[in-house]
Structure 1
Amino acid sequence: MTFIQPYDSPLGDILLAADETGLTGLWFEGEKYFANNLPQKHIRQETPILSETKRWLDIYFTGKEPDFMPPLHPIGSSFRQAVWSILLQIPYGQTVTYGEIAQQLARQQGIARMSAQAVGGAVGHNEISILIPCHRVVGTNGSLTGYAGGIHKKIRLLELEHTDTSRFFVPKRERRCDGI
């Protein structure tokens, strides 16, 4: 069964979803893939996983790095799971590029090359934003290429983590995480 709870963040309303295993979704209201994997049958009910996630978010939104991680249960293909696993390794307040993730994934899979655009597609379909930090992924040239929740939220999340954003820029035509 899937359980949902709203969360009122400083950046807007968030919907949380979890099953018995872990958090399955964290979406900003109105984002591109809002509640994309939310089953038709779900119950609005507080659970220990959702309570722990809210506590994590409360700490995070004060500008501090939480020292724990609620159980996560991201749902997706093995390729997406591999990309999301790499996202979880990006340190708080730091960024990596789509190309760097592609290189790391290629090394892990023992292949010569991996498409940064394919990585971008997986990053863009991350259903557990913030906790699986796709906002920490930037373009190779320093462009703040999209965020399903909106580029302004991506910038605010990076600033909240005290990331030096002076070397980044917003492209004239904003692209989403799934479009490099």
Structure 2
Amino acid sequence: MLYAQTVPTPLGEMLAVASDRGLCLLEFVGQPGVERELAQVQAARGEVLREKGNAVTVLLASELAEYFGRRRRVFGVPLDLVGTPFQIAAWQALLAIPYGETRSYAQQARTIDQPTATRAVAAANGQNKVSIVVPCHRVIGSNGSLTGFGGGLPRKRALLALEDTSAQRDWLNETP
């Protein structure tokens, strides 16, 4: 069984979908591609979607509130990632990026021992179905520029500002 729950955040409502094993999907409601990602999760798990949360989505909602309140830097919610082995390797590398730090796509490619696969890593990051918890927002261009983020660059900018440990910034007002 898959369980769906919407979770309010300061950056907008998010759709959380979890199996009994862990979180499969976390995306901002209304962003392009959410329906496609949800269909991929359902096809991969072969399970029916119930519009009711479970223990995983309840834990996630609590941890997201702590994260946005700057009381959590590492998520403990279990994950049930849906993707190819390469994508999952790229996402595991994302999980290793510490709170408040960023990496380039080239650095991520080297992390998974695929130094010539920068574009493939970027594509895998773009297919990440678990926003924020699997922190694809922490990957930026080699020149330091903000690059694609499924939730939009204003949200990416706000998430990076939230995690900025060098100053006590008003991260929510960083969003244009």
TM-score (norm 2): 0.85
SS in 1 for 2:34: coil
The CA distance in 1 between the partners of 2:94 and 2:85, in whole Å, is 14
SS at match of 1:36: helix
In the TM superposition, what is the alpha-carbon distance from 1:103 to its structure 2 partner?
1.2
Counterpart secondary structure, 2:13:
strand
Q: Tell me if structure 1 keeps the 8 A contact 2:103–2:139.
A: yes
- What is the identity, as a one-letter code, of the residue corresponding to 1:132? V
Cα 1:162/1:64, change in 2 over 3 Å: farther
Shift of 1:104: 1.6
Q: Cα 1:128–1:68, aligned 2, differ >3 Å: closer, same or farther? A: closer
SS of residue paired to 1:122: helix
What code does the residue aligned with 2:83 have? G
Q: Which has the higher helix share?
A: 2
Identify the residue that residue 83 of structure 2 maps to in structure 1. Answer: 76
Q: Say whether the 8 Å CA contact 2:2–2:49 is kept in structure 1.
A: yes
- 5+ long unaligned stretches in structure 2: 167-176
How many residues end up aligned between the 2 structures?
A: 160
Whichever residue aligns with residue 29 of structure 2, its letter is E
Alignment deviations for residues 120-154 of structure 1 (CA, whole Å, 9 cap, x no partner): 00001000000000000000001100101100000
1:23 partnered with 2:23: yes
The answer to whether the 8 Å contact 1:23/1:128 transfers is yes
How big is the shift at 1:30? 2.2
Query: Are 2:50 and 1:48 aligned?
Result: no
The structure-2 alpha-carbon separation of the partners of 1:51 and 1:133, relative to structure 1 and needing over 3 Å to count, comes to same
Q: How much does 1:64 deviate?
A: 2.9
Tell me how large the CA RMSD over aligned residues is: 1.8
Structure 1 residue 34: deviation in Å? 1.2
- Tell me, yes or no, if structure 1 residue 145 matches structure 2 residue 152: no
In the TM superposition, residue 17 of structure 1 has moved relative to its aligned partner by 0.3
Give the aligned residue type for 1:58. A
Please say if residues 75 and 133 of structure 2, whose CA atoms lie closer than 8 Å, have aligned partners that are also in contact.
no
Q: Distance in 2 between matches of 1:135 and 1:68?
A: 15
Displacement of 1:63:
2.2
Q: How far 1:79 moved relative to its partner?
A: 0.2
Does the 8 Å contact 1:17/1:23 carry over to 2?
yes
Q: 2:103 aligns with which of 87, 96, 104?
A: 96
- Kept after mapping to 2: 8 A contact 1:27/1:35: no
> 1:29: how far off?
1.4
- Scaled by the length of structure 1, the TM-score of the pair is 0.83
What's the CA shift string for 1:32-80, capped at 9, x where partnerless? 3214332283101121111100011010111232455100011000000
- Note closer, same or farther for the CA distance 1:6–1:126 as it changes in structure 2 (3 Å cut): same
Structure 1: give runs of 5+ residues left out of the alignment: 165-180
Q: 1:62 aligns with which of 59, 69, 86?
A: 69
